[in-house]
Structure 1
């Protein structure tokens, strides 16, 4: 099976990663998150694997620092940035069309926040026909009233691993593996 891969970087905006005066809590393990995502972006670029960014319009107003993509993870001039309002990166956007135009069959997903936009993108991608690799140590969130961020991340890594919709499914893999090469066929 031919798998064309793309790296999807979700909501790594300054206001989410670093926090804002209104929401002062940065995401869990922000330094290692940024470093891991930057390494994956570098690997994708070196191998001419498309990198696409999703940016949430509800974080702050465009032009404000909190709205901007984290400076350590900035897109290259040719890399698309898809703007969204919903937690689902595909809803009301042309993300699916852009991926189809690139011939993508395998999505590697990283970013923020685990239980919202990352989870939604993983699940929706499988219903659209994409195999998904969620990078175990390249997504993050903040504490909520019920769970600490570390628990939320662990829970999602566990429940999303192997989740599928008919044929396409999600694998959760650590960044130490070559996550840009799909391993789904070895499980079919």
Structure 2
């Protein structure tokens, strides 16, 4: 099966990556990983879409903005969302469908909330998903350290599927922009 890929960058807003909601675990390496993936996507003419959470801060506040090192180009799509699920009451699915996308490479913040729900929902909508193991992050909670949350999600999400489409967890050192799902079907 021929697949068409898009890179999805979820909630890498200043208020999450840097604070006050963050800083997220290994924020510098996270930003660099996503930045490199985005540059690779640009070189290969792979669409890059951003998701921005309207609940992070007031519109116009520094914390609301997408991290300056990852700021979208004026021609790139930014999906505004209110729910943890990037597809809920947004036009993300329609945007992806109009581009003919069948494979999503997922990155961003926060692992156990918005990244988790976007990955799972994408499979129910028919997309194969590659979750970049070192391309998502979060903060500590009262039970687990951020590092544990990330590790748990990298293990529990790998292979998770809904009938046909499923999630593969791959490291950014691999060619994550090329889907590997068909080798497992």
Unaligned runs of 5+ in 2: none
- Secondary structure at the counterpart of residue 94 of structure 2: helix
Give CA-to-partner distance per residue, 1:14-61, whole Å, 9 cap, x none: 0000012xx4x4000000000000000000011100000000000001
- Residue number in structure 2 paired with 1:88: 85
Give, in whole Å, the separation in 2 of the partners of 1:75 and 1:40.
13
Q: Map of 1:94-113 to 2, 5 A cutoff?
A: 94-113=91-110
- Residue number in structure 2 paired with 1:172: 169
Give, in whole Å, the separation in 1 of the partners of 2:146 and 2:158.
18
> TM-score, structure 2 length as denominator?
0.99
Give, in whole Å, the separation in 2 of the partners of 1:39 and 1:89.
23
Select 2:55's aligned residue among 46, 58, 78: 58
- Residue number in structure 1 paired with 2:4: 4
Give, in whole Å, the separation in 2 of the partners of 1:16 and 1:151.
18
Q: Map of 1:70-149 to 2, 5 A cutoff?
A: 70-149=67-146
Unaligned runs of 5+ in 1: none
Q: Map of 1:30-69 to 2, 5 A cutoff?
A: 30-69=27-66
CA drift at 1:2: 1.2
Give, in whole Å, the separation in 2 of the partners of 1:38 and 1:94.
24
Give CA-to-partner distance per residue, 1:110-140, whole Å, 9 cap, x none: 0000000000000000000000000000000
Q: How many residues align?
A: 185
Give, in whole Å, the separation in 1 of the partners of 2:117 and 2:32.
23
Alpha carbon RMSD of aligned pairs, Å? 0.5
- Secondary structure at the counterpart of residue 92 of structure 1: coil
